[in-house]
Amino acid sequence: DQQVKQNSPSLSVQEGRISILNCDYTNSMFDYFLWYKKYPAEGPTFLISISSIKDKNEDGRFTVFLNKSAKHLSLHIVPSQPGDSAVYFCAASAVGFTDKLIFGTGTRLQVFP
């Protein structure tokens, strides 16, 4: 049973436009959410996080939105750049940002010129 779902395996966006990556979860005990970015042959790199006491967190070009009632979060990248091309993983935890994380299956983002 997949507790964290990323239903879009891939997304293609033009440089300069907005990229929106979506993530849904089923476990209402999850209170901590993170996005990781992964390049080929490298480990995941932390991007941005949010806890359930907030509905939005922003860091430069990256914004994460959380809708707890819908059990849905999204990552917005504005403007998208070719260097953003990577696989993005959504992850969730019931205990804390450093605790056992449940990952989604990832969305491959391609940003083209």
Residues of span 86-105 touching other proteins by CB under 8 A: 89, 91, 96-98, 100-105
- Report how far apart, in Å, the C-alpha atoms of 16 and of each of 65, 78, 87, 92, 93 are: 20, 7, 19, 29, 32
Which of the residues 46 through 85 are near other proteins (CB under 8 A)?
46, 49
Q: What is the DSSP secondary-structure string of 38-71?
A: E-TTS--EEEEEEETT-SEEEETTEEEEEETTTT
Task: Give least dist CB 50 to other proteins, A.
Answer: 12
If one asks whether residue 43 binds other proteins (CB under 8 A), the answer comes out as: yes
Q: Closer to other proteins at the Cβ: 44 or 77?
A: 44
> Residue 20 or residue 102: which is nearer to other proteins going by CB?
102
